[in-house]
Amino acid sequence: MTGYAGIDAGGTLVKIAYLSDGSAADSGGEGLLSASLPILVKFPTERIEAAVEWVRRQVPRDTVVGFTGGQAQRLRALLPEYEASAVDVPEFEATAEGAVRILKAEAEKEEAAAASGRFVLVNVGTGTSLHVIEGGERLRLGGIGLGGGTIVGLTGLLCGVRDYAEIARLAPLGSREAVDLTVGQIYAPAIPPIAGDLTAANFARPVPPATGAEPQDYAAAVIGMVAEIVVTVGVQAAGLQKTNQVVYIGSSYQDNALLRELTLRFTEMLGATAKIPKQGPYSGAIGALHLAKR
């Protein structure tokens, strides 16, 4: 066999992990996570043909390919030349397997301790799913319909910006207080009993600022709402699972500084420990690769 690949074809992105038996060539990917982990690339699902062309150009035909995700069957049908060595991998199993491997690899790279014992895994993709992981236990707890898809959809409805990269760029420049009703606004001019910038009610500011709300304010408010809800659900799940460790993964965190910042802050505020691994968006692809390899 020439090598192994995992393809996580989701509703928003197609993520590919490819591990060759030989040395890695310059393939336009995001580089190696470590010597034992694969080349990682991604494509928008709306440009699925670009993902197909990349696979045909970079991945030899005898490669074992694990397909996972909601668009996996569609992508697999576009790559019939790989059918002889194709493997279907359940999405939630792939996500959990990939997350564990990424945490271990990043800890080795940083010479630090990986997430140990029991932890809750929160996968923030188009929507959000939750898992509890401890050793060989990989149990899905459930999910909610908020995630990166919410950020794109709601910001698009509010101010017409639907490009995720542009939303992530704008959000740190905005003010949530131009849109949200905060604790500080409710208690003013008195000193609030908790942090004044915490949200009392999303999108509920009764009187907008004199200049009106700008696109960056809406972007900040939407990302803040998603972060608050995802963290609240994740930390509550961790408490029910008798752990204070929460690991956040998913494509929503990639290049989204405000979402990462708020996730870390809110998790700590609620008394839990948060970790957002750098290569978390590729958990499904990496997991599919290794489960297919088995």
- Looking at residue 154, its amino acid is L
263 sits in which H/E element? helix 257-269
Query: What's the pTM?
Result: 0.90
Report how far residue 68's alpha carbon sits from residue 48's, in angstroms, rounded to the nearest whole number: 14
Write b or e for each residue in 67-103: b if 16 or more Cβ atoms lie within 10 A of its Cβ, otherwise e: bbbebbeebbeebeebeebbbebebbbbbbbbbbbbb
Q: Is residue 204 part of a domain?
A: yes
Contacts of 97 (CB under 8 A, 6+ apart): 138, 286, 287, 290, 291
- Looking at residue 113, its amino acid is A
In tens, the pLDDT along 121-151 reads 999 999 999 999 998 889 999 999 999 999 9
Q: Is residue 100 part of a domain?
A: no
Write b or e for each residue in 228-237: b if 16 or more Cβ atoms lie within 10 A of its Cβ, otherwise e: bbbbebbbeb
Q: Return the active site residues.
A: 91
Q: Are 245 and 117 in contact (CB under 8 A)?
A: yes
Q: Are 70 and 10 in contact (CB under 8 A)?
A: yes
DSSP string, 69-100: STTHHHHHHT-GGGGGGEEE--HHHHHHHHHH
User: Considering only CA atoms, which of 273, 264, 2 is closest in space to residue 120?
Assistant: 273
* Segments forming the whole domain that contains residue 238: 148-277
Report how far residue 237's alpha carbon sits from residue 66's, in angstroms, rounded to the nearest whole number: 30
Q: Is residue 226 part of a domain?
A: yes
Q: Is residue 17 part of a domain?
A: yes
Q: Write down the mean pLDDT value for the chain.
A: 90
Note whether 232 and 289 are same-domain residues.
no
Note whether 233 and 287 are same-domain residues.
no
Note whether 168 and 66 are same-domain residues.
no
Q: Is residue 116 part of a domain?
A: no
34 burial type by CB count under 10 A (0-12 exposed, 13-18 middle, 19+ buried) = middle
Q: Is residue 137 part of a domain?
A: no
Average pLDDT over residues 118-123: 97
CATH of the domain at 59: 3.30.420.40
- Provide the number of structural domains found in the chain: 2
In tens, the pLDDT along 62-87 reads 999 999 999 999 999 999 999 999 99
**Least confident window among 8-12, 119-123, 140-144, 207-211:** 207-211
Beta bridge partners of 44: 13
Q: How far apart are the first and last CA of the chain?
A: 13
Report how far residue 80's alpha carbon sits from residue 92's, in angstroms, rounded to the nearest whole number: 25
Q: Is residue 227 part of a domain?
A: yes
Note whether 68 and 165 are same-domain residues.
no
